[in-house]
């Protein structure tokens, strides 16, 4: 039995729990995000056991079956993208079959999945709001390569918002702005960008009351 921060992993994936924890820490996951991923790992492991399957049986097709079952009982980390960190780690250890050719390990989508997990698990936002914020943030993430996050400036953010605000209703503009504030605040917390470079030049601080508000 492997446990960490209140998360227990039992079953076929138990022996990989400590290694996965280290992988998450090395990738810069915050403690709560890591805990959420370990919780997902625990669910996968228990599900495999209930299905009479071993770790080596966790193919892409089996993972899709798990996702379908999880969607019936969970509101967060219930898409195929949510499993990317875990499956990538297990494949790197040779514990499960290689990914199917049709599955793309897009780093932008991995980052957006992590962001969505943060919104759902830590901010308590409703599923529809999480989906909306992730969709609004996707073009911004696509335009800025990961290696440039550390040099991100408020001007870049302002230009992105302004260019996409033309001919858009005020509410759509406000939703996009709130989504980006949440994204930037999360990325700063994860150590992916420097807050001082963008917060003083682009609108209000992401710590402003009412931004990224939890569901009541």
pTM: 0.57
CA–CA dist 216, 125 (Å, integer): 9
Task: Place 6 in a pLDDT band, splitting at 50, 70 and 90.
Answer: low
Mind giving me the DSSP string for 61-129?
HHHHHHHHHHTTT-SSS-SGGGGHHHHHHHHHTT-SPPPPTT----HHHHHHHHHHHHHHHTS---HHH
Claim to verify: residue 130 and residue 178 sit in the same structural domain:
yes
Q: Tally Cβ neighbours within 10 Å of residue 102.
A: 6
Average pLDDT over residues 183-201: 71
Give pLDDT tens digits for 72-120: 888 788 888 788 889 999 999 999 988 764 444 577 877 888 888 888 7
Q: Does residue 213 belong to any structural domain of this protein?
A: no
Please list, in sequence order, all residues whose beta carbon lies within 8 angstroms of the beta carbon of residue 176, skipping any fewer than 6 positions away: 136, 161, 164, 165, 168
Q: Does residue 3 belong to any structural domain of this protein?
A: no
Give pLDDT tens digits for 136-177: 888 888 887 665 677 777 788 888 888 877 777 888 888 888
State the total domains in the chain: 2
Claim to verify: residue 30 and residue 66 sit in the same structural domain:
yes
Least confident of 82-86, 130-134, 142-146, 194-198: 194-198
Claim to verify: residue 13 and residue 84 sit in the same structural domain:
yes
Q: Which domain holds residue 166?
A: 107-199
150: CATH:
1.10.150.130
Q: Does residue 141 belong to any structural domain of this protein?
A: yes
**Per-residue confidence (pLDDT) for residue 212, from 0 to 100:** 54
Tokens of 184: 């930037």
Q: Does residue 128 belong to any structural domain of this protein?
A: yes
Claim to verify: residue 56 and residue 120 sit in the same structural domain:
no
CA–CA dist 179, 182 (Å, integer): 5
């Amino acid at each position: 039995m492997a446990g960490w921060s209140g998360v227990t992993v039992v079953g076929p994936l138990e022996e990989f729990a400590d290694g996965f924890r280290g992988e998450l820490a090395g990738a810069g996951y915050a403690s709560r995000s890591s805990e959420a991923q370990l919780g997902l790992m625990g669910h996968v492991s228990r599900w495999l056991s209930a299905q009479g399957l071993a770790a080596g049986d966790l193919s892409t097709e089996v993972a899709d079956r798990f996702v379908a079952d999880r969607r019936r009982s969970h509101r967060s980390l219930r898409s195929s993208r949510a499993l990317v960190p875990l499956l990538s780690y297990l494949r790197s250890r040779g514990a499960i079959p290689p990914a199917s050719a049709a599955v793309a390990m897009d780093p932008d989508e991995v980052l957006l999945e992590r962001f969505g997990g943060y919104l759902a698990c830590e901010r308590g936002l409703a599923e529809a709001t999480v989906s909306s914020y992730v969709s609004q943030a996707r073009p911004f993430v696509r335009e800025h390569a990961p290696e440039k996050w550390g040099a991100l400036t408020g001007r870049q953010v302002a230009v992105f918002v302004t260019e996409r605000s033309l001919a858009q209703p005020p509410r759509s503009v406000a939703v996009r702005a709130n989504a980006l504030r949440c994204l930037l605040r999360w990325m700063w917390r994860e150590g992916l960008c420097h807050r001082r470079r963008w917060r003083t030049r682009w609108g209000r601080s992401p710590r402003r009351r009412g931004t990224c508000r939890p569901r009541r």
